[in-house]
Homo-oligomer: A and B are copies of this chain.
């Protein structure tokens, strides 16, 4: 178990779809799945650009007002990875001949995917192939691979064929060949985009090495031929610049790509690799989490954070898709995952990336205002799933009706401002918070006793829909309204710009104070939605393990009518609005919903980990930490092949830091309540806070708080307030607590069982 790498020894050709996802490289703009250099065998290879999407007309059996008529979908662009190898005319193909050694290493500090293969062809030619590829984290549209081949025991005629091949879902291919490379241009059909890929090569080999490029109608192939003595190396560094732009700007795009390509080539592999490592060193400086006593978890949390980094990098002008750029799952759409699961992590480990995500949402505000108008609402209504800001959800009860998204976005904006104190982003935060606050006035209603209700909306749990008084929604709406009031006080200049009258502010104050929160008629505990605990419980005993996910085997009609939760809902409210519940409430509701939550969503385990830890189920928390962290490494959802579950990966950090670390940051007040689960010897993490950086090292008995940068940070340890200043760390004891009896869970949905799969 490598602490800083994910290594595949040998090659499992039946798992290629999955390993392509796991070994994806991305800089946020360009994503390349981890396919083999030679292109086959393959699973679902692909390369994606954050801006390259296609528009598809959508038809509905029964169309109704407000349904989107087109959907955006991410589209594969020509992959830059293809490097084929021929040995005296025999094709290098791991399915033939003899593969003596094969190892792939995702190096989490180098930020590269490395490969070593030793192979003997059916005709007896033996070679060693080494490749290393990277997608530079600080260059928008660049890809590079360092490809080396070496005969092992006899001289060989070697041909390395490096190609760009036209994307199947793109049109009007134009290819061009130069000396050592060329270009391939295509366009999308409906979205009016040009996609261009330029390639060049740096070749090192024997003097007689020949390099030729040929442009066919659908591909550009650079052929490098050399005769190599045993042990002699042919090295081909392939550098590719790729990007997309509105088709009318295709010439400017080509110019940009030529520049990027020549800069990349001039830099050279070593420099690109060194730069990549430097970016990652910087990232890990703040983001690393050290786990003592669980090597697999140590690796998993680093793997998770590496992919969060890759998904969130360079995010100013595009969202963070649910699967990053690691696959076509969810069509490349950005959901609430960004704001609720990813940004809160970025705020603490990489606030610059969180700021970018926020800026992107802010740029979507005009589209959200239009959508609100179209729907007869007020302020802004953000799209449930989108690439460019347009609603792409085709099922409104789980899309349009999930209006908590608006409050989620406001919450993330406020959290970011609180965590960073970044005044430059403040106006964007005010805009978002005010426009979303406005929506609640129309969405909700006051009853005759003055209580504020929100009827007929869908909360986080997708196995309920169109419910009344979803506690999560109501609490997030309350926070949204209060934040609007508060922010306008602090930024009075924004009032006029946003046309806010005092009466509007007065409404927000009144409604926020009047928000109704439903409770169970009998026990008085908080419930997910009004009256939901009166409903019939799902018949878990009659449900077989194979019938999960439930939505694949039962109609929404049945699911919605029963008590069964796809994912944390009320429990998520307890996480994001800890102030709104007593510990007793949290405990009662958490344990109740444990019995109903099937986690058919990957957005659940991390949140359950946090609350399990808080209310006294540390062993259970540990199980959820594992489920969140191993979601893709162990393919727990059997969908890693479609792309990685970025929110769950980010959630692994949250589960550790907010779960075991007990970190909370509501209102910008950093607080900790660390407590390790049995078996873990230590947990060390850092958190950035308003320009400072705090390190927290937790052992079973105590926690040490150290300021590793910036001004002193006021904080609290298990409720005891103190300030971490420069110099030696402050060590405080952790009193042991008794583990509460494990709550009942639906049969076969215990996280230990889920993780055993």
Contact = CB atoms under 8 A, between A and B. Distances in A.
A722 interface: no
Contact of A401 (B64, B455, B557): B557
A61 interface: yes
Contacts of A62: 393-395, 398
Interface string A530-550: 110011100000000000000
Contact of A58 (B61, B445, B522): B61
Nearest to A66: B555
Contacts of A71: 61
Nearest to A71: B61
A556 B400 CA distance: 10
A555 B397 CA distance: 11
B457 A561 contact: yes
Contacts of A558: 375-377
B531 A468 contact: yes
B445 A536 contact: yes
Contacts of A584: none
A65 to B, nearest CB: 5
By CB atoms of chain B within 10 A, which of A457, A468, A561 has the most? A561
Contacts of A555: 64-66, 375-376, 396, 400
A550 B552 CA distance: 33
Nearest to A552: B65
Nearest to A547: B376
Give the size category of A's interface with B.
Answer: 35 or more
A445 B538 CA distance: 12
Given A396-B555, A555-B375, A555-B396, A535 B61 contact: no
Given A376-B555, A445-B536, A394 B61 contact: yes
A592 interface: no
Given A465-B466, A468-B531, A557 B60 contact: no
A468 B553 CA distance: 24
A442 B468 CA distance: 23
Interface string A357-383: 000000000000000000111000000
B557 A456 contact: yes
A560 B456 contact: yes
Contacts of A447: 534
A610 to B, nearest CB: 29
Nearest to A453: B534
A216 interface: no
A723 interface: no
A96 interface: no
A296 interface: no
A707 B396 CA distance: 57
By CB atoms of chain B within 10 A, which of A393, A551, A556 has the most? A556
Nearest to A457: B561
A267 interface: no
Given A534-B447, A536-B445, A536-B455, A64 B556 contact: yes
A66 B557 contact: yes
Nearest to A68: B61
A445 B562 CA distance: 10
Given A465-B466, A561-B455, A561-B457, A65 B554 contact: yes
By CB atoms of chain B within 10 A, which of A66, A393, A555 has the most? A555
A59 interface: yes
Interface in A388-419: 393-398, 400-401
Contacts of A456: 535, 557, 560-561
A4 to B, nearest CB: 40
Given A534-B447, A536-B455, A396 B557 contact: yes
By CB atoms of chain B within 10 A, which of A62, A377, A535, A557 has the most? A557
A13 to B, nearest CB: 31
A522 B536 CA distance: 27
Nearest to A539: B376
Interface string A53-79: 000001111101110100100000000
Given A397-B397, A445-B536, A551 B65 contact: yes
A535 B454 CA distance: 9
A466 B531 CA distance: 14
A709 to B, nearest CB: 46
Contacts of A448: 522
Contacts of A393: 61-62
A29 to B, nearest CB: 27
A164 B4 CA distance: 78
Contact of A61 (B395, B445, B457, B531): B395
A520 to B, nearest CB: 12
Contacts of A561: 443, 455-457, 466
Contacts of A398: 62
A453 B534 CA distance: 10
A85 to B, nearest CB: 42
A397 B445 CA distance: 24
By CB atoms of chain B within 10 A, which of A61, A400, A468, A554 has the most? A61
A542 to B, nearest CB: 9
13 contacts: A64-B551, A66-B554, A66-B555, A376-B554, A376-B555, A376-B558, A377-B558, A448-B522, A455-B536, A456-B557, A456-B560, A465-B466, A468-B531
Given A60-B60, A62-B395, A453-B534, 12 more contacts: A61-B393, A62-B394, A62-B398, A65-B553, A66-B557, A376-B554, A376-B558, A397-B397, A401-B557, A456-B535, A465-B466, A468-B531
In the A-B complex, list the 6 residue pairs whose CB atoms are closest, starting with the nearest.
A61-B394, A456-B561, A66-B555, A445-B536, A62-B395, A58-B61
